[in-house]
């Protein structure tokens, strides 16, 4: 019994099931992308600070208001993820302290 055709069929099925078309950007992601990338280090650090503040505020807002997506009533973190992707693209430093902890 030759298992090569069966293995090829299973592998092809697995590979086609795991791929998906690229996801369309949300309006919020387009707005974030429209902001110009900083040209010097001072501007980059300022934008990183602003993005970090936006990230924490959005995270707290989503948790407190209970925004949910349509699938299983899970919180919708799309805006938070968009901000995090922008921070990662700018190579922002990680946050040392959380805003809710005493200084």
103, part of any domain: no
pTM of the model as a whole = 0.61
What is d(CA 45, CA 101) in angstroms, rounded to the nearest whole number? 22
Q: Note the pLDDT tens digit of each residue in 33-91.
A: 888 888 899 898 889 888 888 888 888 876 666 555 555 666 677 888 888 889 888 88
65 inside domain: yes
Query: Binning pLDDT at 50, 70 and 90, where does residue 103 land?
Result: very low
User: Does residue 32 fall inside a structural domain?
Assistant: yes
pLDDT computed for residue 59 by the predictor: 82
At 68-78, the pLDDT tens digits run 555 566 667 78
Any domain includes 58:
yes
Q: Residue 66: which domain range?
A: 26-89
Whether 66 maps to a domain, the answer reads yes
Angle separating helix axes 27-34 and 78-89, nearest 10 degrees: 30
In a domain, 71, yes or no: yes
Counted domains in the chain: 1
Beta strand segments in the chain, E:
none
Q: Is residue 63 part of a domain?
A: yes
Residue 93: pLDDT band by 50, 70, 90 thresholds? confident
């Amino acid at each position: 019994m030759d298992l090569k055709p069966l293995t090829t069929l299973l592998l092809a099925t697995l590979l086609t099931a795991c791929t998906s078309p690229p996801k369309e950007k949300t309006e919020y992601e387009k707005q974030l992308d429209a902001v110009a990338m900083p040209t010097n280090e001072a501007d980059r650090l300022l934008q990183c600070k602003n993005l970090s503040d936006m990230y924490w505020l959005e995270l707290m807002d989503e948790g407190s208001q209970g925004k949910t997506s349509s699938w299983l009533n899970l919180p919708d973190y799309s805006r938070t993820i968009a901000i995090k992707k922008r921070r990662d693209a700018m190579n922002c430093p990680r946050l040392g302290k959380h805003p809710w902890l005493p200084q």
